[in-house]
């Protein structure tokens, strides 16, 4: 189908701080959409399986050190390497759910305080713009109680608070929806599913826009 005329799928992103329940909600959302007869695919960033993703994985597990700039660019490259696949699916009428995207890229890097916001956004300018971003909002008390918190680089309460404030700064009301993630996973899931169905309907005849362009 053509870029402007065809009936495309929707690009739906889940964002949030670490341990907000994104991965669980992504899985549940995908199942629910499939059960509703909506063709869809799930990808997670970082995709740790590619060559670049393996380096990112080592960095996150603290078995490898890289400069702040270098790891930032690798995270971005890790998204760009999947763009052809994402575009093809969308133009083929299939929806794509992403577990993190460029917003995590900017929020986590800018929170370090060594790179300014605009520099951080640069490499991701022009990525396919999501039709909907769910920001799973978790209080810091709830976050630090969740399983496994503190195992990887960045999983520290103070740093996560900085990350959250940058997420708030870069949110665009055109596609950004804050979700209360302190609730049960069933309640959260129900809301994500309903809003996703609406977005899939509304996005069908819209062109794919470019992020931060
Ligand atoms: P994950 O736990 O969802 O696999 O993400 C791993 C960590 O990487 C998480 O702390 C967020 C961080 N991150 C970045 O710093 N930049 C990025 O571009 C992405 C996608 C994640
Ligand atoms: Mg993690």
Confidence band for 147, pLDDT divided at 50, 70 and 90? low
Q: Complex ipTM above 0.90? A: yes
> Does 81 have pLDDT greater than 90?
yes
Look at residue 148 in the predicted model and tell me its pLDDT.
Answer: 66
Q: What is the mean pLDDT of residues 170-183?
A: 97
Question: Which residue has its alpha carbon closest to ligand 1 atom 17?
Answer: 105
Q: Is the CB of 60 under 6 A from ligand 1?
A: yes
Q: Is 176 in the pocket of ligand 1 (CB under 6 A)?
A: no
Q: Cα dist. 6→65, 126, 204, 211 in Å? A: 45, 21, 8, 20
pLDDT, position 76: 99
Residue 6 pLDDT greater than 70, yes or no: no
Closest C-alpha among 184, 187, 164, 168 to residue 176:
168
Which parts of the chain fold into alpha helices (H)? 22-35, 51-60, 68-80, 83-91, 102-110, 117-121, 140-145, 157-170, 185-203
pLDDT computed for residue 10 by the predictor: 98
Please give the average per-residue pLDDT across 187-213, as a whole number.
98
CA 43 to chain CA centroid, Å, is 9
User: Distance (Å, rounded) from C-alpha 24 to C-alpha 20?
Assistant: 9
76-84 mean pLDDT: 99
Angle between helices 22-35 and 185-203 (to 10 degrees): 60
Q: What is the pLDDT of residues 82-103, one digit of tens each?
A: 999 999 999 999 999 999 999 9
First to last CA, the chain: 24
Question: What does the alpha-carbon distance between residue 68 and residue 41 come to, in Å, rounded to a whole number?
Answer: 31
Ligand 1 contacts CB of residue 73 (under 6 A): no
The minimum-distance atom of ligand 1 relative to the CA of 102 is: 18
């Amino acid at each position: 189908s053509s870029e402007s005329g065809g009936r495309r799928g929707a690009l739906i992103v889940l964002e949030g701080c670490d341990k907000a329940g994104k991965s669980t909600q992504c899985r549940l959302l995908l199942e629910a959409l499939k059960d509703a007869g909506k063709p869809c695919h799930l990808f997670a960033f970082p995709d740790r399986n590619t060559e670049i993703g393996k380096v990112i994985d080592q960095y996150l597990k603290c078995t490898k050190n890289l400069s702040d700039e270098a790891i930032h660019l690798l995270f971005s490259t890790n998204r760009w390497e999947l763009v052809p696949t994402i575009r093809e699916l969308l133009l083929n009428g299939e929806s794509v759910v992403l577990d993190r995207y460029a917003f995590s890229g900017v929020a986590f890097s800018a929170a370090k305080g060594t790179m300014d916001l605009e520099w951080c956004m640069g490499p991701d300018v022009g990525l396919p713009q999501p039709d909907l971003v769910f920001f799973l909002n978790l209080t810091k008390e709830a976050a630090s109680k969740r399983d496994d918190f503190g195992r990887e680089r960045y999983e520290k309460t103070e740093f996560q608070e900085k990350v959250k404030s940058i997420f708030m700064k870069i949110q665009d009301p055109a596609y950004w929806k804050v979700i209360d993630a302190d609730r049960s996973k069933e309640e959260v899931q129900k809301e994500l599913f309903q809003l996703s169905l609406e977005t899939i309907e509304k996005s069908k005849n819209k062109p794919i826009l470019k992020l931060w362009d």
